[in-house]
Amino acid sequence: MNMNALMAAQQMFPYFDMLNGPTFEKLVKDFWVRAEVYDLEAAKTEELLAVTKDPSLRGKTRKEMGLEPFRHTEIRSSVMGIPITITEEVIAKACRVAPTGRFLWNVRRSHPLLDSYQGVVLKGNSSTKLVDIDCHHRMLLKFMTECFFQKGGGSDQPSADHKLVLYFLAAFDKINIVKYLMHHLCWAVREGIRGKRKQIPCGRLLSEIFTQGKLLETLRRNNLASDKTLRSRTGKMINDKTLQNMKIIKKFSPNEKDLKESTDQTKLMKDFPPIFKEKNPEVLNELISGFVKESGNIIVDDDTPNVFQMKSLFKSEGRGLLLMLVQKPLVLRPRSLRKTRLKHPILTTALLQSPKGKEEKENPLRPKKKGPRK
């Protein structure tokens, strides 16, 4: 099976190369529990709050209100007390891809391109099961659901939006992976705040952003960037056994020339966009020192959602086989949120559920449940 042509059309090879690297689990968790989406709706709410505090600001521009101009959607959070902002520009640079291509979302079931999906992927038969489609399209579906839109459980049937993405991939039509990743991250942040999602997607991508944004460099100056402190991990490789489990091939034969897992950090880019506004090293050190004194640690172990662990690009040498990556959630046992020393309103909704085993106090006003009839 050769996926070179399909992936070359997407120009994603640098993106998959980037994924073969370490994921800093604690930094990702520390970022996620404070993350929120700053979009146009949030900007209007910010203006409304300013007018509520000072009615004389009604009808004035954001600049006259003393607010920064709204340019684009951002994901805002903080790590070790340092405010961090992630934009599409930051994601594009970290992925090493151009922010161009097709992007469609919230499409209706009557969208005409869904007929094209049925013709290309399902071969014109709407009753075709996904396990029976072409093996190349099955691999594309695996890349899409486990690399771009990590679900962490739920239905195996793709939505109308995901069907269009699969159609674009199968039809050699370039997608805007930057917009899709940004949209998915924003969706996951909102779902986490509502308490409907307990997984963190794109852990390796976030770790690469922290590296290129020189967050790790700042932590090293404070002796807080060791592998043990950050809990550095790497994903497992996808090899022929993956195809064997999918029943695409019959025999699994490992090769010594296959790509190995990498724990090395990528080289810093000179033109990487900044992820935090404060550039004074002394101010950054003070922010970190104040955070450590207040919390005592980077983050409390196992009190946050699961981080998707990335598996890296695998290329089988000499056999014409190109496989990609997969992300799987780390299985963690949640502890009580009351033990968390970090104080943030998102913690009450974005973290895991409270532990089981606590008995509820009896309410004398509540009628007792009747036992089964004899």
pLDDT 10s digits, 337-366: 333 333 333 333 333 333 444 444 444 445
The pLDDT of residue 199: 85
Domain locations along the chain: 4-101+174-250+269-350
pLDDT tens string 254-299:
777 777 777 788 889 989 999 987 666 777 777 777 776 666 555 4
- Mean pLDDT confidence for 87-108: 95
Cα separation, 127 vs 34, in Å, equals: 44
What would the 3-class secondary structure string for the chain be?
CCCHHHHHHHCCHHHHHHCCCCEEHHHHHHHHCCCEEECHHHHHHHHHHHHHHCHHHCCCCHHHHCCCCCCCCEEEEEECCEEEEECHHHHHHHHCCCCCCECCCCCCCCCCHHHHHHHHCCCCCCCCCHHHCCHHHHHHHHHHHHHHCCCCCCCCCCCHHHHHHHHHHHCCCCECHHHHHHHHHHHHHHHHHCCCCCEECCHHHHHHHHHHCCHHHHHHHCCCCCHHHHCEECCCCCCHHHHHHCCCCCCCCCCCCCCCCCCCCCCCCCCCCCCCCCCCHHHHHHHHHHHHHHHCCCCCCCCCCEEEEECCCEEECCCCEEECCCEEECCCCCCCHHHCCCCCCCHHHHCCCCCCCCCCCCCCCCCCCCCCCC
Q: Distance between CA atoms of 92 and 272, rounded to whole angstroms? A: 10
Averaged pLDDT for residues 41-53? 93
Do residues 196 and 33 touch, judged by C-beta distance below 8 A?
no
pLDDT at 154 over 80: no
Percent of the chain with pLDDT over 70: 72
pLDDT at 241: 73
Q: What average pLDDT does the chain have? A: 76
Per-residue confidence (pLDDT) for residue 176, from 0 to 100 = 96
> What pLDDT, in 10s, does the model give residues 223-247?
776 666 777 787 666 667 777 777 7
- Whole-number pLDDT of residue 209: 95
Mean pLDDT (whole number) for 169-175: 95
- pLDDT value of residue 319: 34
CA distances from 240 to 5, 8, 128, 243, 258 (A): 19, 21, 26, 5, 10
Mean pLDDT of 104-132: 89
Residues with Cβ within 8 Å of residue 220, at least 6 apart in sequence: none
Give residue 355's pLDDT: 41
**Higher model confidence: residue 354 or residue 152?**
152
Check whether 189 has a pLDDT greater than 50: yes
Q: What is the pLDDT of residue 37?
A: 96
pLDDT for the residue numbered 371:
56
Query: What's the confidence (pLDDT) of residue 367?
Result: 52
Q: How many residues does the structure list for the chain?
A: 374
Instruction: State the pLDDT at residue 31.
Output: 92
Q: How many CA atoms, within 13 angstroms, populate the side-chain half-sphere of residue 358?
A: 8
Q: Which residue has the higher pLDDT, 208 or 195?
A: 208
| Tokens 């399902």, residue located | 122
* Amino acid 230: pLDDT: 76
The highest-confidence range among 107-111, 330-334, 336-340, by mean pLDDT, is 107-111
Per-residue pLDDT, 152: 57
Q: Which two tokens stand for residue 327?
A: 């992300």
